[in-house]
Amino acid sequence: MKTITATLLLLLTSTSLFAQSNSVIVRVAVPQYSGDRASVAGEGDLPFTLSSNLGYGIGFAHSFSPRFSAAFDVMRLNPDVRTTVDGVRLDAGSMTMTPLTAIARIHSRYAYAGAGVAYVTTGDLRSDDLDLTGIGSVSVDNELTYVLNAGLSIPAGKSMHIDFDARWLPMNVDVSSAPGRGSLKFNTLILGAGLGWKF
């Protein structure tokens, strides 16, 4: 009987602690892109670049214990895209990217590291340069990929914390346009800083 009572008390205490182990965080994000490569059927590889425009995001995290947590985030990135076709530098417009991530994390005092999945919705590419070259709008598919994560969460008072976060996710999205189908391959490193509220 004592064992059952002790177990119930432990569960009730744990549940109470869990109710206090949630946080919401707002982030500013600076993305960095690498390994940029575009390919179009019949054209082979084409060079292209993505600009590191400032992004933003919001997330929710639940701590199961001081060492384990799960984080769910949505971010908004809007890089400008440029490419070169037949030696001519083209402005390909902006590609809106919205990564939705779910990450399992391990904590050690203020530091954490984790991995998870990311579903990235993307917007189509449109620009005057693409129209003038006969390419027209470029339809960009969404992407399901993995994400690696590391960061620091530093207390800033009783219920606030400052968060420094890095996420890396590879992208290989299919595209289609008037010349045919192709793909965009690039890696995205998202460096973020945010302010969180624990409740």
For residue 58, pLDDT over 90 is answered with: yes
Domain boundaries, given as residue ranges, for the chain: 21-198
Residue 35 — pLDDT band, cuts 50, 70, 90? Answer: confident
Fold classification of 21-198 (topology level): Porin (2.40.160)
Find out whether 125 and 152 touch, Cβ atoms under 8 Å.
no
Question: In the chain, count of helices (H) and strands (E)?
Answer: 2, 13
Amino acid at 178: A
Structure-token pair, residue 114: 């984790």
* Rounded Cα distance, 4 and 11, in Å: 11
- List pLDDT tens digits, range 114-137: 999 999 999 999 999 888 888 889
pLDDT for res 7: 43
> pTM value?
0.83
User: If you search the block for the tokens 């009987």, which residue do you land on?
Assistant: 1
